[in-house]
Each structure stands twice: as C-alpha cells, then as structure tokens.
Chain A
Amino acid sequence: MSETAREIEELAAASYEYGFSTDLDTDIAPPGLTEDTVRLISGKKNEPEWLLDWRLSAFEAWQSMKEPDWAKLEIAPIDYQGLSYWAAPKQKPVLESMDDVDPEIRDMFDKLGIPLHEQKMFSNVAIDAIVDSVSVTTTFKATLAEAGVIFCSFSEAVRDHPELVREHLGSVVPVRDNFFAALNSAVFSDGSFCYIPAGVRCPMELSTYFRINSQNTGQFERTLIVAEDDSHVSYLEGCTAPQRDENQLHAAVVELVAKDRAEIKYSTVQNWYPGDENGVGGIYNFVTKRGRAHTDAKISWTQVETGSAITWKYPSVILQGDRAVGEFYSVALSSKRQQADTGTKMIHIGADTTSSIISKGISAGRGQNTYRGLVKVLRSAENARNYTQCDSLLLGSDCGAHTIPYIEVKNPSAQVEHEASTSTVGEDQLYYCRQRGMTEEDAMSMIVNGFCREVFDELPMEFAVEAQRLLSVSLEGSVG
C-alpha cells in the first residue's frame, strides 16, 4: 500500500509544460492602488466618463470591504499595494489582420498549441487572445459579423457598442458583490465581449485564451456575454501562465445574460501555473462568474480546473425566469500543494426552475479539494428542482477532499437531491489495467479520465480531447 501511495504521489508531481515566459515589450504601471491608479487605467483606455465613475464607485466600495474569510484555504496574505494594476504588451494600437499581431505573441500562442492564423485554426472556433489582461487579437470577426454576432475585446466593445456594455455591465455581478468583484470592477483592464442577437445561433464556438506573462502584475479581466431571446452560443476560455516563484493574483469577473429561451454554454479549461511541490509560486485564481437565466433560458457552466495554486470560484446561475435551467459540471484537480475551493450557487427564483450540479474533485500529492455549493430556493420558486452529485477521488494519503453543500429552501414544493461519494483509485483497478499491459501511468490516467467522463462529455469536442490530455499531463510524473 505505502509503495503504491508513494508511486501515486510521484505520478501526481508532474511538471508544468507551459512554464515559459516570453520577452514582450510591456507597458507596466508602478505598483500600488489608489484612486489615481483607477483614473490612470481608465485614461489609458480612453474610457467614457460613465465608466470611470462606475470604476470609482467600485473602488470606493472595495476600500470598505474585507477579504473573504478563507475557511478551508491556507493562504499567505496578499499585498494589494505591492501589485501593479496595469501591464500591456506594447503594440500597434489597431490590428486589422493577423499579420499585424506581434510575431512574439504569435509564437507564444503557437507554443501553447493555439495557432492564431485563421487558415490554420480549428475551423470552427473564433479566438480572442488575451495577454496580461489585454486583448491582442480576435479572429473570425468578419464571419461572425455576418451572423450579427459581436465578439471583440472588452475595450473595443466600450468604444464601439457603449450602449450594450452600459446596459449589462454589473447587471449580474454588482460592484459590491464581493471583495474581488469590487476590485476587478475598479481596475479591470480588458477581457472579452460577446453579443448574440435575438434568434441567432452563433455559427461557431467562441473562445478566449488568457495568458499571464508579466511578473508581479494582478490580472483583472472582465467578460460579458449577452444572448438575446432565442439565441444560442457556446463559449470556451483557456488559461495558462509562466512559471514564477511569486504568487500572482488573478481576479476575473464573468457575467452572462441569457434572455428568454436563450442558451449559453460556458466552458473553462483552466491551467494557470500551479506552483511547485513545495507550494512556491503559482496563481491565486479568485474569480466571480455568474449568469442570469430569464424565462425558459438555460445556462450551463463546464469547468476543468487543473492549474493555479489556489482556486476560489463558484460559477453561479440566477434562475430568474420560469422554467429556467442551470447546470454546473466541474472537474477540479489539486495536486502538489494546490488548493481548490470551488463549486456553484444555484439561486432559484422563477417557478419550475431546475438545476443540476455534477462535481468531480481529484486530490493528489498534498492537494486539498473542497466542493462548496449553495442551492437556494426562494419563496417564489414553485416546484423548483435540484440534483447535486459530488464525487471525490483521492490519489494518495496526504491529500484531502471536502464536500460542503449549503441548501436553503424557502418553498416547500422544492425537490433538492444531494449525493456524494469519496473513492480512491483502487489498487485493483490499477492491477487489472497493468495485467492487460498498460503502464501504471497510463492506467492511472485512464482511470482518472473515466472518473471525469460525465463532465468531459459536456465539453465541445475539440476541447474534451485537450482536457483529457491536460489531466493526464497534470498527473504524469517521474515513474519509470
């Protein structure tokens, strides 16, 4: 047993393959956060007055707020004044085609396996590439425009579609929602904006790739997706970062608005740098993601979280309209010294609303994995239904898995079901696979991938393969 436990630990201690950094010429602000910093950011981006005011109100709110109480997380204090709040690759201000993209940036994305040349790309995915919180390019804009879909960087949206941004910004995650959301609202640098007009089925997958490159900078992106009545969109975000010894803060906000009968499917493959075996370095990933589903609308979150030193996120759905549907599918892996505290909130407001939650937590090495989820059924939510399933898989004996469900039901007609299980990768399973000729590593990765099947099945095809590979790589180690 101890022999196997040790081997499993080695398996879990894989190295991070996206740990390179790229020498980009970067425009960086001095560390520190004051009202002037907020004005500086807004000014750098030539923002309209209303947006500066919005930022300032968020900053004011943030100053009066306290950091969340970390419950299950072990975390070194974050020095918010030691961070720089603005870093942007210096580049030509307007990009008309892919040829204008800084070749260094193009190379960086090539290394990540994300080609930005449209002709070479996954044929059915449009990509917004974001480096250090600033969008460097968005592909397939023309094709999308034909369908009436707007997909651009947040800054462009502020410039070109201010009325849409103004209407929806902060409508799902208000500035005072939580400490990190307030911080993000004050200093966010860029992000993606996406608008699907009524009745339109977005002709391709939309995707944002986030890359943190600079050192000692906080990362604050803002994503806003608005799907008008009867529209449909599938969106994917991917994240990587170089290997650094310091912790880096990533505090993004994602807001989704699904109007009547609209459907938004939002998938995340998060592979920020997790830090090393001793817990040195890695990204602090504190993200607020929430969607509002109107009548008969559906919002589905799928996440595969393999990176970051600390992950703290609860993609949520406000089931506002009658018969709205919310889904949350999650795979979270914590190995080395990683800590993941993740889950979802399903807020049932409308009648006959349904939500389902499938969470798969994998703990390896000395990782700690917590599922924390809230199912809240308000008085108005007649006949609301929720099904929650939380499965934890432990690889080794020094890791931990915790399941903390909160259930608040104010309407007696609600049906709320919760199932939880904790298992280990059976030595029997490993032996069975090895008897059939597989190496221990292959067997482990096959078994773990099998454990995550229900979630991977929710990912768009191209990314399901990517997610499986990522999980295998994260588990691979020095055995053999």
Chain B
Amino acid sequence: MLHVANLTASIGGTPILRGLDLDVGAGEVHAIMGPNGSGKSTFAHALAGRDGYEIDGAATLDGVDLLDMEPEARAAAGVFVGFQYPVEIPGVNNMYFLRTALNSVRRARGETEIGARDFLAVAQEAMDLVEMKKDFLHRAVNAGFSGGEKKRNEILQMAVMQPRLAVLDETDSGLDIDALRIVASGVNALRSPERSMIVITHYQRLLEYIKPDFVHVLVDGRIVNSGDHTLALHLEDHGYADFVNHELDAPERPLSGAAT
C-alpha cells in the first residue's frame, strides 16, 4: 500500500533522510524506533508534504505518487500524521476545526459534506474512543491543552478522519499510564484491513499494547534494521549502540515489511 524507495530529504543542503526504503502493506502496523535526531519526524513530514525540504526518491500510496501533491491533496488521498508537537490554533473551536477538516477531504474526494448535526454523532463516537470529555470539543484547537491532552486530540482527529495511512509520531510521549492505555486501545480500535499505520515511538511499552507487525530501526536517515516486535525488546535492553556504530555504513538491508 505505502511504498517508499530511496527517499532522501535535506534542509538547506543538509541531508536528513539518506535513502529510506519502506513498504507497508494494507492492514499492517509498523513501528519505527530510532535515536533522537535520526529523522523519524522528518520522514512523517516528508510523507505529509511539509514545505522546506528538498526531497528525492519515491513515495506512493496505493500506487499514487505522493511527492508531487500538496499537503491537503495527500490528506485527501488518506495520509494522516499524528504530530509529535500538535499545533495550537487560538480562537478556533475544536469541533469546527474537525468538521472543516473532514468536509475538506470529503469535498476533495467528491463526497457530500456532513452537516453540523450529523457531525455531532461522528464526533461523539470518536470522543468515546479516546475517553475525552465533551468540553474539549468546545475549546480552541490544542490551546491550553496539556501535553497528554494534545496527543489524545490527535487520536481523536484520526478517528474522525478515518485515514488510509496513519503516521503517529511519538503519540505515546508525555502520556500518563491511563492515557497510554486509552490511546493504545483507540489505535487498536482503528486497526483495520484497509488501514495501515506507522507508529513512531521511543518506548517498547507502547508496543506491548499495540502489537506491531514489524519494527524498524531508523538511524541517521536510513532504516538499518527491521524485525518483529522482539527487536523492540532488544533495543530496550541494549539501546542503539549496535546500530549507531557499524550499521551506519552497512549496505542496503533487505526489508522485512510486506510488499504493497
């Protein structure tokens, strides 16, 4: 479903992603782990089409080239990124934001827009999923939200948008134990044969709740190792030392991810 080949991204001439390969099949959940600054968020933004990178290589979703599209067109194609640092938009009502977002992609896909009343039901269902209190819908987008509340709000948005590909960038960071469970069960509830997920995380703990099909190690802009969930356990015990030193210069590694 998602096919990424030799993807490079640099900022002002400084390379960040240095030839990233990844295939994510329909219904699969892939975890990406890696040291700070290795390029995990950059990968998410490269898929979402953020300005400011020089991009090369290929990234297709269901065979459609993502790299030429504007961010909003990628969203309409089904790409959703749960932000590591969700953005505050003061004065804009959360519910209104969600409905505008959903109707924007529906319009782009030639579907009918959802009215305020019907949307309420959609929002309510999503709220239940992440056990969010109702008043969050009436507050401004992320404004004054605690770190954990922002992350929960990202999952709420994912539940409303029903994306084809969700990239969750450290959605578990900053969550308390209960919130982690809630977010994880929200994610699990949204797993489906038509939906693929990439979960970026630093912690094996999240992967106990969300059992990934594959785990990848991203170091210095490249995927240097891939395996099943036991790889995460190994990292938990040994850190990235094994990979940081010699794997860096290793030739391309075979991928264990399924084909598109």
- Is B126 part of the binding interface, using a Cβ–Cβ cutoff of 8 Å? no
Count A-side interface residues using an 8 Å CB cutoff: 25
> By the criterion of a CB under 8 Å from any partner CB, how many residues of chain B are at the interface?
32
- The residue on A at minimum CB distance from B90 is A450
B257 to chain A, nearest CB (A): 24
Of listed B72, B83, B88, B97, residue having the most chain A CB within 10 A: B72
B89 & A450 in contact (Cβ 8 Å cutoff): yes
Q: Which of A426-447 contact B (CB under 8 A)?
A: 426-429, 431-440, 442, 446-447
B101 near A436 (CB under 8 angstroms)? yes
Cβ–Cβ < 8 Å partners of A433 in chain B: 89, 97, 101
Contact A449 B92 (CB under 8 A): yes
CA–CA, A427 to B97, complex, Å?
Answer: 17
Q: A4 contacts B51, CB within 8 Å? A: yes
CB-nearest residue of chain B to A452: B91
Is A451 in contact with chain B by the CB < 8 A criterion?
yes
- B134 in the interface, Cβ–Cβ < 8 Å? no
In the complex, the chain B residue whose C-beta lies closest to that of A434 is B71
- Smallest CB gap from B104: residue in A: A437
Chain A, Cβ-Cβ closest to B107: A437
Whole-angstrom CA separation of A449 from B91 in the bound complex: 7
B60: min CB distance to chain A, Å: 18
Tell me, yes or no, whether A453 is within 8 Å of chain B by CB. yes
Asked if A3 lies at the interface with its beta carbon under 8 angstroms from chain B, I say: yes
- Tell me if B81 and A435 are in contact (CB < 8 A): yes
Q: Which residues of B contact A450 (CB under 8 A)?
A: 89-92, 140-141
Does B75 lie at the interface of the complex (its beta carbon under 8 Å from any beta carbon of A)? Answer: yes
Q: A374 to B104, alpha carbons, bound, how many Å?
A: 44
Give complex CA distance A439, B105 in Å.
10
Q: Does A102 contact B (CB under 8 A)?
A: no
Q: Which of B79, B86, B91, B141 contacts A454 (CB 8 A)?
A: B91
User: What is the total of A-B residue contacts with beta carbons within 8 Å?
Assistant: 81
The answer, yes or no, to whether B182 is at the interface (CB within 8 Å) is no
CA–CA, A447 and B87, complex, Å: 12
Contact of B155 with A by CB under 8 A: no
Contact for B104 among A427, A438, A452, CB less than 8 A: A438
Residues of A within 8 A of B91 (CB): 449-454
B6 CB, nearest partner CB in chain A, Å: 24
Q: Is the CB of A434 within 8 A of B70?
A: yes
- B104 CB contacts on chain A under 8 angstroms: 436-439, 442
Does residue B120 face the partner (Cβ distance < 8 Å to A)? no
Q: Say yes or no: A438-B51 contact (C-beta < 8 A), given A450-B89, A452-B91, A453-B91.
A: no
- Residues in B whose Cβ lies below 8 Å from that of A447: 89, 92
Cβ of B48 < 8 Å from any Cβ of A? Answer: yes
**Residue in contact with B72 in the complex, picked from A429, A434, A446, A451, CB distance below 8 Å:** A434
Contacts of B36 in A (CB 8 A): none
If A434-B72, A435-B71, A438-B101 touch, whether A427 touches B51 (CB-CB below 8 Å) is: yes
Residues of B31-87 at the interface with A, using a CB-CB cut-off of 8 Å, are 48-51, 70-72, 74-76, 79-81, 83, 86-87
Q: Are B101 and A431 in contact (CB under 8 A)?
A: no
Whole-angstrom distance between the Cβ of B72 and the nearest chain A Cβ? 5
Decide yes or no whether B258 CB sits under 8 A from chain A: no
Separation in Å of the A434 CB from the closest CB of chain B?
4
Q: Which chain A residue shows the least CB distance to B109?
A: A437
**A436 and B51: CB pair below 8 A?**
no
- Verify B90–A438 contact, CB threshold 8 A: no
A437 touches B92 (CB 8 A): no
Query: Which residues of A are found within 8 Å of B81, using beta-carbon distances?
Result: 435
- Chain A residue, CB-CB nearest to B72: A434
Q: Tell me the A residues contacting B by CB distance below 8 Å.
A: 3-4, 426-429, 431-440, 442, 446-447, 449-454
Beyond A431-B87, A435-B49, A438-B101, 6 extra complex contacts between A and B, CB < 8 Å? A433-B101, A436-B161, A437-B101, A449-B92, A452-B91, A453-B90
A-B CB contact pairs (8 Å), 5 listed: A435-B75, A435-B80, A440-B72, A446-B89, A450-B92
Q: Contact residues of B with A, CB < 8 Å?
A: 48-51, 70-72, 74-76, 79-81, 83, 86-92, 97, 100-102, 104-105, 108, 140-141, 157, 161
- The 8 A-B residue pairs with the shortest CB-CB distance, nearest first, are A450-B91, A453-B91, A450-B92, A436-B101, A437-B105, A437-B104, A437-B75, A434-B71
